[in-house]
């Protein structure tokens, strides 16, 4: 019984946050090739919008090429110009869905992705990066880490914004992700996350309880 209570106690212990680590996996054309465009607006298991961004293309903002209100993470062009980023565009990129958070100078508009249980790995395709773009990671209602558009390793912020970066964030536990922007829309797609693994004692307890239940069913049979 003491072992059972100890294991339950471990399950109830709040998960602590550690230092946020960011990796730029790929940029522009190389990033487009690494994501599943058919799942561009699919959410990770256990993830739900409690305050949803716009899904683009949208009837309110139908113009994607050239971009007017929001620039697709798959857009090969440079906003406001006739130039391109030099990457081979994906066929039909104009119709690939993506998420967009509308900018407000006071960061009052936020979109929140919530998870049923704590996660410790996060990824997404971040388009048309701006200095005002911000991701906040929260655990039990408290901000445990932040990441701005100009903080990605090896990615240069340019004006106007252009291209996309596929990123991976690790090293912290979170159960909510908050998106906002003060300048330029925040466009992104292909959001991914992985849950925090069960501590070994808890995992062992779960396995033991499962085995016990199996043995009981066999005895009844």
3 by Cβ neighbours in 10 Å (0-12 / 13-18 / 19+) ranks as: exposed
Q: Which of 38-42, 48-52, 110-114, 158-162 has the lowest mean pLDDT?
A: 158-162
The answer on pLDDT for 8 being more than 80 is: no
C-alpha to C-alpha distance for 76 and 190, rounded to whole angstroms? 17
The domain locations on the chain are: 20-197
Dump pLDDT digits (tens) for 170-203: 999 999 999 999 988 999 999 999 999 988 564 4
Q: Judge whether 74 and 164 are in contact, CB under 8 Å.
A: yes
| The pLDDT value given to residue 145 | 97
Task: Write down the residue that tokens 């919530």 correspond to.
Answer: 114
For the domain covering 20-197, report its CATH number.
Answer: 2.60.120
Both tokens assigned to 30: 């190389």
The count of C-alpha atoms lying within 13 angstroms of the C-alpha of 140, restricted to the half-sphere facing its C-beta, is 8
| The pLDDT value given to residue 213 | 56
Dihedral sign computed on CA atoms, order 122, 194, 125, 141:
negative
| The pLDDT value given to residue 80 | 85
Whole-prediction pTM: 0.81
Dump pLDDT digits (tens) for 67-79: 888 999 999 999 8
Distances from the Cα of 122 to the Cαs of 12, 127, 137, in angstroms?
23, 16, 10
Average pLDDT over all residues of the chain: 86
């Amino acid at each position: 019984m003491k072992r059972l209570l100890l294991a339950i106690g471990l399950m109830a212990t709040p998960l602590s946050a550690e230092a946020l680590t960011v990796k730029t996996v790929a940029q522009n054309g190389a990033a487009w090739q690494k994501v599943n465009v058919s799942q561009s607006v699919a959410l990770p298991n256990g993830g739900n919008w409690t305050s949803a961004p716009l899904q683009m293309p949208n009837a309110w903002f139908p113009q994607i090429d050239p971009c007017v209100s929001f620039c697709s993470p798959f857009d090969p062009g440079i906003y406001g110009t006739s130039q391109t980023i030099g990457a081979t565009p994906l066929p039909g990129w104009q119709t690939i869905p993506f998420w967009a958070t509308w900018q407000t100078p006071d960061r009052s508009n936020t979109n929140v992705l919530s998870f049923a249980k704590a996660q410790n790995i996060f990824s997404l395709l971040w388009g048309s990066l701006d200095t005002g773009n911000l991701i906040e990671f929260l655990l039990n209602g408290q901000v445990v880490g932040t990441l701005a558009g100009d903080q990605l390793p090896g990615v240069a912020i340019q004006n106007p914004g252009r291209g996309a970066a596929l990123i991976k964030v690790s090293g912290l536990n979170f159960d909510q992700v908050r998106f906002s922007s003060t300048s330029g829309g925040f466009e992104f797609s292909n959001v991914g996350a992985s849950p925090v693994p069960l501590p070994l004692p808890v995992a062992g307890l779960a396995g033991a309880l499962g085995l016990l239940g199996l043995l009981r069913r066999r005895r009844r049979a």
